[in-house]
Amino acid sequence: MRTPRGAVEPGSVVAPRELASVSGPPVAVPGPGRLTHLQFRRFAGCPVCNLHLRSVARRHDEIEAAGIREVVVFHSPVEELAEHAAGLPFTVVADPGRLLYTEFGVESAARSLLDPRAWGPVVLAVARGGWEVLRGREHLPASRPNGGRLGLPADFLVADDGRVVARKYGEHTYDQWSVDELLRLASAGTNPAATGPQPPVSGPSGN
């Protein structure tokens, strides 16, 4: 598994910051008294992202009950993202300048779509997304999305003291934690073993 340049390692500390939500009040990261699942997606209306986020939305009550707060970042501007984020039960953050992506070492690469492991989910996502667009439940993405179409996903589980409990850098466009994996990591990571001091993740930054 390839580790990106500038990767954030478990044990690193995320500097406190507030991130502007697309459709609600600013959100503090890290959050007091809770774990924060900070996940990086691709562009607004990305069918593969929507396929995954539907599974997160369906089980959001379960995620909340486990003491986890979802914060989802896209590299799209607010005006593109707002209509796609409507109705989602978690915080959505626009980062069109990719400042957070750079800070957390989240990359773009051709393998996001060329990896054969991505092809099945891509076909399923496009088929389901097209049907939802026809039904008026979703919107088409921009023809030329801000930041391009080759983004890779990434997941970070951050404790309330800013410590990164776990992280995953996706190898292709549909390589992320499932909800079951997230819940297992949260259960194991509420009181993680000390990993020794690590350099802080630079910040704060916001949108």
Average pLDDT over residues 143-170: 89
Contact residues for 64 (Cβ-Cβ < 8 A; gap 6+): none
Rg of the chain's alpha carbons, rounded to an integer?
A: 16
Q: Which of 205, 146, 203 is nearest to 19 (CA)?
A: 205
Q: Which of 90, 91, 94 is nearest to 78 (CA)?
A: 94
Residue 191 φ then ψ, to 5°: -130, 65
Whole-number pLDDT of residue 3: 75
Whole-number pLDDT of residue 205: 43
In which residue are the tokens 């890290």 written? Answer: 30
Tell me the CB-side half-sphere exposure of residue 139, using CA atoms within 13 A.
Answer: 14
Q: Does the global pTM surpass 0.85?
A: no
Whole-number pLDDT of residue 199: 43
Q: In whole numbers, what is the pLDDT of the chain averaged over residues?
A: 83
pLDDT tens, residue by residue, 176-188: 999 999 999 998 8
135 or 112, which is more confident: 112
> What DSSP element (H or E) covers 202?
none
Whole-number pLDDT of residue 204: 42
Is the predicted pLDDT of residue 165 greater than 70, yes or no?
Answer: yes
Domains of the chain: 13-174 (3.40.30.10)
Whole-number pLDDT of residue 142: 64
Is the predicted pLDDT of residue 146 greater than 80, yes or no?
Answer: no
The neighbouring-strand residues paired with 73 are 40, 93
Average pLDDT over residues 1-5: 70
Buried b (16+ CB within 10 A) or exposed e, 46-81: bbbbbbbbbebbebbeebeebebbbbbbbbbbbebb
pLDDT tens, residue by residue, 28-79: 999 999 999 999 999 888 888 888 998 999 999 999 999 999 999 999 999 8
Contact residues for 27 (Cβ-Cβ < 8 A; gap 6+): 18, 19, 21, 69, 71, 91, 93
